[in-house]
Chains A and B, each alone.
Chain A
Amino acid sequence: MAKVILENVSKNFGRVQAVKNFSLEVDDQEFLVLLGPSGCGKSTTLRMIAGLEEVTEGKIYIGDILVNDLPPRDRDIAMVFQDYALYPHMTVYQNMAFGLKLRKRPKEEIDRRVREAAEILGIQELLTRKPRELSGGQRQRVAVGRAIVRQPSVFLFDEPLSNLDAKLRVQMRAELSKLHNQLRTTIIYVTHDQVEAMTMGTKIVIMKDGEIQQVGSPMEVYNYPVNVFVAGFIGSPAMNFIPATLVQLEDGVWLDAGNFQLLLPPSKAERLQDLKERRVLCGIRPEHIQDKAFASKRPKGSTIEGIVEVVEPLGSEVFLSVRSGGHTLTARVDPQTRAKPNEKIELVLDTDRIHLFEQETQRRINTE
C-alpha cells in the first residue's frame, strides 16, 4: 500500500535512450497500466521501479522512500514475469515460500501465508507439484501467488498474460481485476495489449519511443486521445484516419475529404472558428460508422458512399472494409447488414464522435 512517484526518470543503454524524462505519480491502490508497442520503454520503466535496471537520471520513490540505490529486495515490491520465472527445481509451495524463507520468517507464518495465497488463487491442490507438471494457466497463478505471499506494497506485472491462450487470457484478466479489488494494493502492469489495459486499468499510461503520450482513465484515453498515435493505438479495430480540409459554408463547418464531405455538428464547429481552410486529420472509430439501413439518425452531411471490399461477420457484429475515393474505412455495422463485396454501400458517420487532429503536429484539436 504505497504511492509510487517517478521524477524525470531516464534510462540510457549506451547511446540509445530507452526512457526519456519520465514523470508519473501512481496513487495508492491504483491499477496502473503502462501501455505501448514493443520497444517503447514500458518494460524498462517497470524494471527500473523493480530495481533490476539502474536509473540513468531522475528519482524513483516508493511510499515516500527514495529507492534509486536500494536493491530489489529492499523495495517492498513483488514482480510477476512474462515467462513466470518459477524455480523449476522447487515445488509450488517452495516457490511461494522462497521469499519468506530468505527473510527468515517463522515456519508457521510462512505456512499460513502460503496457504492463504493458495486459497485466494484456488491452487491448494497444486502445492506439492513442480512447475513442469502445471499448465500455463496454473503456472501463471503460482507466479501471482508467489507475489501475493510476500504482501508487498506494490505489485509489478511484466506482460504476465502474453503466454496464455486467448480464452485463458480473458479469464485471467477478470481474475486479476478481482484480485486487485481484494488486495487493495498498488499494481503497475505492463502490456502491449490495449484490451488488457482498457479492461483492467484504473489509469493508463500510453508510451511511445520512451516518452509518455497520455495518462488517463480508460474512457478518457478512448474518448479524448491527445494525438494520432494514442487514437490509433487504443481501440480495436483501429480508428480510421482521413486527411481533410475544414471549410466554412453558410450552413456550417464542413470537412472536405475530396470525394465526400461531412458537416460538423454546431457544437464542434463553434470551437473551430479560427481553423477554417486548415488541413486536418479526421479520425472516426469503426463503431461510429453504421450501415445507412440501420442508422438510428441520419443528420445532414453524415452520409458517405463507397464500395465494399471485405465483409467480416463476427456474429454479434460485422466488420466492413469500405473503399471510398482514396480512403479505406473500417466500419462496425449491424449484423443484419446486406453488404456484399464489390457492391455499393451507404454509410452514416456519427459526426458527434469525430476526432480532429492537426496534420503537422498530429495533436488533437479540442472540440469539446
Chain B
Amino acid sequence: MRSIASVVNRKSSPSFLKILRSRRYAAYWMVLPLFILIVGLVVYPFCYSLYLSMLNKSETKWVGLKNFGRLLGYGTFWLVVGNSFRFTLIAVFFKATLGLALALILNNLPLAGQRLWRGVSMIPWVMPLALSSLGWWWVFEPTHSAINWVLVQLGGTPKPWLSDPFWARVSTIVTNIWFGTPFFMIMYLAGLKSIPESLYEAAQIDGAGAVQRFRYVTLPMLSRLIAITVMFSTIVTFANFDIVRILTRGGPRYTTHLFGTYAFNIGIEAGHLPRGAAVALFMFPVLGLAAFFILRNIARGEE
C-alpha cells in the first residue's frame, strides 16, 4: 500500500520534489534559513528604524529629516559623538596592544602551561558582559569599592570612580578593555602559531635580535590579522551598550554616554522613539566604513 501511495504522491507533485532535489537549487535551499534570519533580524529592523526616525514623537506625522537636524543642534549629541570616538579609540588601542603582549607571553610559555593560561585568560570574554559589568560596578561603586579599599590601605585617597566625569570614563574604558582583550589575544596567538619557525631562524642567522625579529618578522606577518581584528573590534566597541548602561547609565551628566546608550535614553527612557532611532542611525556610516575595510581586507587575502 505504502508503495502505491508514494507513487501516487510523487505523481501529484513531481515538479516540487524535483526542484528540492536538484543540485542547481540545493545551494539556495541551504542558505534560505540564514537569509530569513538576516531579513528578520537585520534588514527589516534597519528599514523600520529608517522609517521610524522620520516620524514625530507620537509617531503620527511624517517629519522628514527633522529628527536628525535637531540632534545636530544639540550640545549633548556632540558630547556623545566625542564620547563614542574617545571610548572606541582608547579601548581598541589598549585591547590590541595588551592582546598582542599577552599572546607573545603565552606563546613563549612551555606548552603544558600554555593551555591552562590560555583557558584562564579567556574567562573575561566568555562571561556574559552584563554580569561581568555588574561585577565591575561592584568594584567601582563608592560604598563598597574594592579599589578604593586597596587605595586607602596603601595610604591613598578614595576616588569617585563612577560620579566624576574623568574617572567614570576611565572606569567604562577599563571594563571594556578587560572584556575585549582576550579576543585579541586568542586571535594573535593563533596568528603567532601560524608563523613558520624557520623564518625566525633565518632572521636569527641574518643577524636579527629579539626586537628586530619582532619588528621584521612577527609584526609584518601579523599585520593583516591586526588590521582585521582592530576593525572588527572597532565595530563592536563603538556599538557598546551593556558596560555604560550598567556602570554609569551614561552619567554623570551624559559624559559617558555612547550612541547605543544615548539612543536608549532618548528613545525608551525619554519616550521619543523616532529620535532615538535617529541617534542609532548615526552609527551606521562609521560601522559601514569599518565593515567595508574588513571585507576588502579579507577579499585581498583570498586573492
Q: Which residues of A contact B (CB under 8 A)?
A: 50-52, 71-73, 77-79, 81-83, 85-90, 98-99, 102-103, 146, 150
Contacts and interface: CB of A to CB of B under 8 A. Distances in A.
A73 B207 contact: yes
B201 A103 contact: no
Contacts of A89: 220-221, 223
Contact of B202 (A51, A71, A81, A103): A81
B216 interface: yes
A78 B205 contact: yes
B196 A83 contact: yes
Given A52-B201, A86-B202, 20 more contacts: A50-B205, A51-B204, A52-B205, A72-B201, A72-B204, A72-B205, A85-B196, A85-B199, A85-B201, A87-B199, A87-B203, A87-B217, A89-B220, A89-B221, A90-B220, A99-B205, A99-B206, A99-B207, A102-B207, A146-B202
A41 to B, nearest CB: 18
B216 A87 contact: yes
Interface SS of chain B: helix
A102 B208 contact: yes
Counting chain B residues whose Cβ lies within 8 A of the other chain, the interface size class is 10 to 19
Contacts of A86: 202
Contacts of B206: 73, 98-99, 102, 146, 150
Interface string B170-199: 000000000000000000000000001011
A58 to B, nearest CB: 21
Contacts of A102: 206-208, 212
Given A83-B196, A85-B198, A89-B221, A98 B216 contact: yes
A81 B198 contact: yes
Given A85-B196, A88-B221, A89-B220, A103 B205 contact: no
Given A85-B199, A87-B199, A88-B221, A52 B204 contact: yes
Q: Which one of B199, B207, B208, B216 has the highest number of Cβ atoms from chain A below 10 Å of its Cβ?
A: B207
A160 to B, nearest CB: 12
Contacts of A71: 204
A329 B146 CA distance: 84
Contacts of B220: 87, 89-90
Contacts of A85: 196, 198-199, 201-202
A196 B204 CA distance: 28
Contacts of A50: 201, 205
A87 B196 CA distance: 10
A2 to B, nearest CB: 16
Interface of B: 196, 198-199, 201-208, 212, 216-217, 220-221, 223
15 contacts: A72-B204, A73-B206, A73-B207, A79-B201, A82-B198, A83-B196, A85-B201, A87-B202, A88-B221, A90-B220, A98-B216, A102-B206, A102-B207, A102-B212, A146-B202
Contacts of A87: 199, 202-203, 216-217, 220
Given A88-B221, A89-B221, A98-B216, A83 B207 contact: no
A299 to B, nearest CB: 55
A85 B200 CA distance: 9
Q: Which one of B198, B206, B221 has the highest number of Cβ atoms from chain A below 10 Å of its Cβ?
A: B206
A79 B216 contact: no
A81 B201 contact: yes
Contacts of B223: 89
A71 B212 CA distance: 15
A71 B203 CA distance: 12
Contacts of A78: 205
Contacts of A99: 205-207
Nearest to B223: A89
B279 to A, nearest CB: 42
Nearest to B206: A99
A73 B201 contact: no
A85 B217 CA distance: 11
A79 B199 CA distance: 12
A123 B220 CA distance: 25
A86 B206 CA distance: 11
A97 to B, nearest CB: 10
A88 B223 CA distance: 12
Nearest to A71: B204
A103 B204 contact: no
A102 B203 CA distance: 10
Closest 10 CB pairs of A and B: A73-B207, A99-B206, A85-B198, A85-B202, A89-B220, A102-B207, A72-B205, A81-B198, A72-B204, A79-B205
